[in-house]
Amino acid sequence: MQGLGGIPYMLPRLERPGEVKPPEKVSPTGKLVLFIIALWIVPTTAVLFLRWGSLYLILPYVTMLSVSYVLFKPRGDVKVWRTVQHNRFLEGQEVEVEVHVKPEFSVDHLLVEDVVPPGLELISGSPSKVFSLRAGEEGVLKYRVRVRRGVHTFEKTRVAYRDPFGFFSSDGLAEVYTEIIGVPILYDVQTPYSTRGTKITVGPLPSPLVGEGLEFHAVREYQPGDPLKIINWKATARTGRIMANEFESERKVDVVFVVDASLSSGAVFDHLIRAAASLMLNALNDGTSFGLLLSEEIPLWVRVDYGKRHFFKCIDFLSTARPDKSNMISYQVEHLVRRAFPPRAQVLYFSTLTTPESRRALEVLADHGYRVVVISPDPNSVYKPKDEDERLAMRLVRAKRKALIRSLAGYGVIVDWDVGKPLKVAIAEAIGK
């Protein structure tokens, strides 16, 4: 499956089988306990009524227990492995999980129970199944889960052997490790920042600056030192002077993504992460180098780089992001602008701007001369008023937010995003103002 822009968002997995060794000890089941209690009725009755010949009635049952214990113990290993189609899935996507089991001995009752991570929602099927298999025969357990954003780790699968009568059991855990990542949903977005940048690279974003590039700009007179390949021979023949082509240079900005993971983001935090991931893919497709500051209690800084490997690394970090109680984003930004941010970079700042810390961080970026575009999901846009009083209160809240956004407009372009509308539309409205 392909992601937006032809990026292979899902990569195939290679699984290694785990093994469950035959347990040294076979444990009795609850059924055996009840069976023995019932079996004691025979000798008790014989003693009470002095009918000693009835004691022979328990011999078939004792024989059955002995045969069950001796002959139906597991005699080899059980191989277990798990397969999923890919290792990355878009959040909300359904995933089929297969658990394969192959015993080295014949077994009539083999319970296989997969331990499902808590972040996955069971949709259909069951993560447990009882198999009856011959030696070397393979059984397959299938079920479907829905993926939430984050890293989900399968670690173990329980395998429980039962004898045909259900009197004895031997349980074991197979170490079968599988990791899948629920990545943010990607929106179709446009580039919200200027292309007037700091370094010349080949890519699809032209700059109005003149230089050596691919887009034709004008014809001028040839000057000493110009390469011969830019001579325009037709213009030279027509004018009688040596003329040369002039091209637009292609300049790209370094882009720094700053994600405010404060707890105040609340119900729009997932929208915030999806916006960052979408614009990161946009930067990748444009050939732009980018870095990431994920501002949590322990901040995560990924230096500016480019390419698919760098993109997937940043996406994986965004996938695990969670709102943080103790957020010091202004301090983190002020520290990094002095030490790590590229000079004259374009900053994409993702924040609800609802805390003094988040607004102070925007001021710090602007004070250091960075061009800032703020993608700010409106936390109020997810709430739907139920009556007239709530509608009035919501109008007051929205008016207060608009005043806040206007007061910060001098620090950069602010996209006040009502999450009920597409991000692409919100960006177009903000840039068009």
Q: Domain residue spans in the chain? A: 8-26+73-183, 30-71, 208-249, 253-432
Calculate what percentage of the chain has a pLDDT beyond 90. 44
Q: What is the mean pLDDT of residues 264-278?
A: 91
Q: Give the pLDDT band of residue 153 (cuts 50, 70, 90).
A: very high
Q: What is the pLDDT of residues 407-429, one digit of tens each?
A: 999 999 999 999 999 999 999 98
pLDDT of residue 179 exceeding 60, the answer is yes
CB-based contact 266:379 (threshold 8 Å): yes
DSSP 40: T
Q: What is the mean pLDDT of residues 20-36?
A: 65
CB-based contact 337:349 (threshold 8 Å): no
Q: Report the C-alpha gap between 101 and 355 in whole angstroms.
A: 53
Q: Give the pLDDT band of residue 137 (cuts 50, 70, 90).
A: very high
**Higher local confidence (pLDDT), 214 or 414:** 414
**Higher local confidence (pLDDT), 200 or 58:** 58
DSSP 23: P
**What average pLDDT is seen over the chain?**
82
**Higher local confidence (pLDDT), 210 or 363:** 363
Residue 25, pLDDT score: 60
Q: What is the pLDDT of residues 281-314, one digit of tens each?
A: 999 988 889 999 999 888 899 999 989 999 999 9
DSSP 128: E
Q: State the CB neighbour count (10 A cutoff) for residue 125.
A: 14
Pairing of strands 371-377, 413-417: parallel
pLDDT of residue 20 exceeding 80, the answer is no
Residue 45, pLDDT score: 75
Dihedral (CA of 425, 267, 402, 255) sign: negative
CB-based contact 352:272 (threshold 8 Å): yes
DSSP per position, 268-281: GHHHHHHHHHHHHH
Question: What is the chain's length?
Answer: 433
Residue 268, pLDDT score: 92
Q: What is the pLDDT of residues 322-354, one digit of tens each?
A: 888 777 899 999 999 988 999 889 999 999 999
Least confident of 111-115, 237-241, 402-406: 237-241
Residue whose C-alpha is closest to residue 279's, from 253, 297, 299: 253
Residue 72, pLDDT score: 64
The domain defined by 253-432 folds into Rossmann fold (3.40.50)
pLDDT of residue 1 exceeding 50, the answer is no
Least confident of 2-6, 19-23, 219-223: 2-6
* Full-model pTM: 0.72
CB-based contact 192:427 (threshold 8 Å): yes
The domain defined by 8-26+73-183 folds into Immunoglobulin-like (2.60.40)
